[in-house]
Amino acid sequence: MENFLLAELKKAAQWIDAAIKSSTFPDAVRPDFLAQAMRAYPEVGGKRLRPAIMLWSAAAAGGDMQKVVPAAAALEVFHNWTLVHDDIIDGDETRRNQPTAHVVLAQAIDMAEHRRSKFGCDMAILAGDLMQAWAFDFIDQCDCSAGLKLKLARELRDCGYLKLVSGEAEDVVMSYRYAGDVSEAEMFAMQTGKTGALLHYAARAGWMLGKGYPEAWDEPEAVALGRFGDALALAFQLRDDYLGVFGKLEEFGKPIGSDLQEGKATLLLIHALKNLPASEEEKLSKLLYLESYTAEDLEQARQLFRQCSSVEYMLDAIKKYSAEAVDALTVLPDSDGKKLLQLLTEYLINREK
Amino acid sequence: MENFLLAELKKAAQWIDAAIKSSTFPDAVRPDFLAQAMRAYPEVGGKRLRPAIMLWSAAAAGGDMQKVVPAAAALEVFHNWTLVHDDIIDGDETRRNQPTAHVVLAQAIDMAEHRRSKFGCDMAILAGDLMQAWAFDFIDQCDCSAGLKLKLARELRDCGYLKLVSGEAEDVVMSYRYAGDVSEAEMFAMQTGKTGALLHYAARAGWMLGKGYPEAWDEPEAVALGRFGDALALAFQLRDDYLGVFGKLEEFGKPIGSDLQEGKATLLLIHALKNLPASEEEKLSKLLYLESYTAEDLEQARQLFRQCSSVEYMLDAIKKYSAEAVDALTVLPDSDGKKLLQLLTEYLINREK
């Protein structure tokens, strides 16, 4: 079954790649380096999760997946502008093993070295802005009624801006606080916006596109698919946070320990800081914000997470949300699309990378 | 006649104020300080030029101005997100006598002083992003057909992103070059995007809204109104650059000499650096990028601009573009809307502030 999933995921990724590469929208942008920056993230591509979910939800609704490609490309480009602006905000220098947008743009023109970093960030702000327009241009290219296009754009503004950007802002604010003072509810609310909103949109808008009329957004199956997206996002993010401490560097892209270095309020850390005895809590908090992490530092942190059962607590939460995701799908009639959404959930919560 | 213009400008501004204040779109944004930041620029308001042009073009097309208010509010909110991101890029600390968005946001939460500036910029990036969604939400609120809404959004992506943001990027790149190496053609191309694109959109989309169908975008009157917007923008910007050196501080909001301080490639400076004898060009270039400007510095610069007739050259260019703007209007049938667009042109090129 995993082969079926991977083959379908690959097919979806190829469709999205082709749609993005053949779009001429960025061609009118000047200077050329800014047009190239718009294309860089969407063309390199990641897992293409969001488009795949949208395509499979459309299939579950009895729609033609290929007709949904422009809307799925819109979603992927939309996701990528948020990454461009996030990378500026987080000061990240690599993504998908490539230099981030602001790092590339810092080298775009000849200038004094000390001014490059500011220039790169300024241009990356504008590249992200332009990508927002590109996403909505893709919606405009959909083979559907004007009313459905407007509905797609309206719900993307709700999910992709009001919910996602609010979640991103809450995440930034949270990063200035001690993780032990952040509640689980706050963290989950933030993640439901930051990660959940676009998965919610992907699944729910996919159903609507499969049906072909705007009213389908509120059909019980669409609402259930929205819950699927919400729950899958939390399970996915929890697995990410788990791998950030217990993963293997060779497989997981991100350096193990970087979440500890940032003092990131993951469920693991929130739970441990609240449940460890005071002396052990102090040990754990001394393992946050270090310049670098030795194998011993990481092993000590893992030991503390195990000691207060934070690992079990985390793994239980992953199971709970993935079960919620799969459960939400039961309302759908049986189909390949539904099967793929189920398989994807299993796959994502068991991944090592 | 000026009283008629000012009264109509005030009426337009009041309609736009009311529409922006009563919009609930930002209310769902979290944290609250981010929702407040979204509202700050559009609620304080500037001249409301772009909305006024849109309303009057609609009136010139025989339309009902009040029906156009949501589209005009969209344009105003759109203009304002570009200011929020520009202010980050330019590092400006005040606008319209208020602290800029990133300066206000730097104080939004409790944190170490040295981290505030970065936090303020990060949140202002997100505020600007959210305002983009708000602008298109206003278009969605228009009392018109779905097809017309899509056309309004499509042309706003063309003018407001592809042209305007490209112009902004070219302006930033230009700011890293010696003004004497910038050609007039490059500077005008940049300004046509950065300042012209939204005035073009305002005038041309206004006509389309007045007519009420998307095909009106390509009617000869709409095309002429687009040219009106292009030419008015250049005349407006040239007047701004003129006042930046020859204006009176009490009237003009911006500190006199700040363009010289930035070495900004205005028509005045481009012309003078190319036409002064070498020894005088050197004198003028030594007056660029100073820490501060004394009355003597400014007087010496003015003297050099007069010496090579750069001032006349500049004033002639203002006349040329304002004549082009007024000329473009001749194709329109006589109406109050047309009259107001003529009066506005005269008013803007004679303003002292």
pLDDT digits (tens, 9 = 90+) for A9-55: 999 999 999 999 999 999 999 999 999 999 999 999 888 999 999 99
- On the question of pLDDT at A144 being above 70, the answer is yes
The C-alpha of A169 sits at a distance from chain B's nearest C-alpha, in angstroms, of 7
- Quote the pTM value: 0.97
Q: Percentage of residues in chain B with pLDDT exceeding 70?
A: 99
Share of chain B above pLDDT 90, in %: 93
Cβ neighbours of A85 in B, within 8 Å: 125-126, 129
Question: Does pLDDT of A257 surpass 90?
Answer: no
Q: Tell me which residue in A129, A137, A150 faces B140 most closely, judged by beta carbons.
A: A150
Which chain A residues contact residue B119 at CB under 8 A?
172, 176
Q: Which residue of B has its CA nearest to A189?
A: B30
Residue A280 has pLDDT above 80, yes or no: yes
Residues from chain B contacting residue A146 (CB–CB below 8 Å): 145-147, 149-150
Q: Indicate yes or no: CB of B132 within 8 angstroms of CB of A129.
A: yes
* pLDDT tens sequence across B185-213: 999 999 999 999 999 999 999 999 999 99
Residue A160: predicted pLDDT: 98
pLDDT at A315 over 90: yes
CB contact under 8 A, A173 and B140: no
**Inter-chain touch B34–A169, beta carbons under 8 Å:** yes
> Residue A152 above 80 pLDDT?
yes
Q: Does residue A254 surpass a pLDDT of 90?
A: no
- Helices B2-22 & B49-60 angle (0-180, nearest 10): 110
Using the predicted structure, report yes or no on whether residue A223 has a pLDDT greater than 70: yes
Interface contact flag, B122 A89, Cβ < 8 Å: yes
A28, closest residue in chain B (CA to CA): B162
Q: Inter-chain contact B161–A129, Cβ cutoff 8 Å? A: yes
How far away is chain A from the Cα of B123, in angstroms, using its nearest Cα?
A: 7
Q: Which of A31, A158, A176 sits opposite B111 (nearest CB)?
A: A176
Looking at residues A296-312, what average pLDDT do you find? Answer: 95
* Residue A53 in tokens: 């979910």
Question: Residue B161 and residue A122: Cβ atoms within 8 Å?
Answer: no
HSE of B9, CA atoms in CB hemisphere, 13 A: 20
pLDDT at A88: 98
A142 vs B contacts (CB less than 8 Å): none
Report residue A253's pLDDT band, with 50, 70 and 90 as the boundaries.
Answer: low
- Closest residue by Cα to residue B37 from B105, B97, B107, B121: B105
CB contact under 8 A, A85 and B126: yes
Here the contacts of A178-185 (C-beta below 8 Å, separation 24 or greater) are A178/A263, A178/A285, A179/A263, A179/A264, A179/A265, A179/A266, A179/A269, A179/A270, A179/A273, A179/A288, A180/A270, A180/A273, A180/A274, A180/A281, A180/A285, A182/A265, A182/A270, A183/A270, A184/A267, A184/A270, A184/A271
B115 chain-A contacts, CB cut-off 8 A:
176
Indicate the average pLDDT of chain A. 96
Say whether the ipTM exceeds 0.85: yes
What's the gap in Å between the CA of B56 and the closest CA on chain A?
27
Q: How confident is the model at residue B253 (pLDDT cuts 50, 70, 90)?
A: low
Mean pLDDT computed over B281-310: 95
Mean pLDDT, residues B35-52 taken together: 95
Reply yes or no on whether the pLDDT at A256 is more than 90.
no
Does the pLDDT of residue B46 top 90, yes or no? no
Find which of A136, A151, A191 to mutate to test the B interface (most B CBs within 10 Å of its CB).
Answer: A136
CB contact under 8 A, A165 and B111: no
* Three-state DSSP class for residue B141: coil
φ and ψ at A51, to 5 degrees?
-60, -40
Residue of B nearest to A194 (CA): B30
**B349 pLDDT more than 70:** yes
Query: Chain A: nearest CA to B197, how far in angstroms?
Result: 13
Q: Is the dihedral of CA B209, B214, B217, B222 positive or negative?
A: negative
Handedness of CA B239, B240, B244, B250 (dihedral sign): positive
Measured CA to CA, the distance from residue A227 to residue A64 in angstroms comes to 23
Q: pLDDT at residue A236 above 80?
A: yes
Q: How many residues does chain A have?
A: 353
d(CA A121, CA A119): 5
Is the Cβ pair B140, A153 closer than 8 Å? yes
Give every CB contact of residue B181 below 8 A, 6+ residues apart in sequence. none
- The angle at the Cα of A60, spanning A57 to A66, to the nearest 5 degrees, equals 70
CB contact under 8 A, B85 and A129: yes
Indicate the length of chain B as a whole number. 353
Mean pLDDT value across chain B: 96
pLDDT of residue B196: 98
Cα distance between residue A120 and residue A102, in whole Å: 4
Q: Does A88 sit within 8 Å of B126, measured CB to CB?
A: no
Find the helix or strand (DSSP H, E) in which A297 lies.
helix A295-307
CA A61 to chain centre: 24
- Structure token digits, residue A254: 């991100």
Contact residues, chain A, for B169 at CB < 8 Å:
30-31, 34, 123, 126
> Cβ A154–B132 below 8 Å, yes or no?
no
A85–B125 CB contact, under 8 Å: yes
Partners of residue A136 in chain B, C-beta under 8 Å: 136, 153, 157
Span A79-102, mean pLDDT?
A: 95
- Nearest chain A residue (CA) to B85: A125
Angstrom distance (rounded) from CA A16 to CA B117: 38
Rounded Cα gap, residues B325 and B183, in angstroms? 23
Residue of A nearest to B26 (CA): A162
What are the pLDDT digits (tens) for B91-110? 999 998 899 999 999 999 99
Tell me whether residues A133 and B162 touch, CB distance under 8 A: yes
> In this predicted structure, what is the pLDDT of residue A46?
84
Residue pair A74/A156 in contact by the 8 Å Cβ criterion: yes
B302-330 b/e (C-beta count within 10 Å ≥ 16 → b): eebbebbebbebbbebbeebbebbbebbe
Residue A182: pLDDT above 80?
yes
% of residues, chain A, pLDDT over 90: 93
- Per-residue pLDDT band for A250 (boundaries 50, 70, 90) equals low
User: Would the pLDDT of A232 be above 90?
Assistant: yes
| Range B221-226 average pLDDT | 98
CB contact under 8 A, A150 and B137: no
User: pLDDT-based confidence at B250, cuts 50/70/90?
Assistant: low
Average pLDDT over residues A130-155: 98
User: Is A109–B168 a contact, with Cβ atoms under 8 angstroms apart?
Assistant: no
Q: Which of A31, A125, A128 is closest, CB to CB, to B173?
A: A31
Is the pLDDT assigned to residue A240 strictly greater than 70? yes
- CA dist., res. A80 & res. A40, Å (int): 9
Beta strands in chain B (DSSP E): 94-95, 98-99
Tell whether the model's pLDDT for residue A56 goes beyond 90.
yes
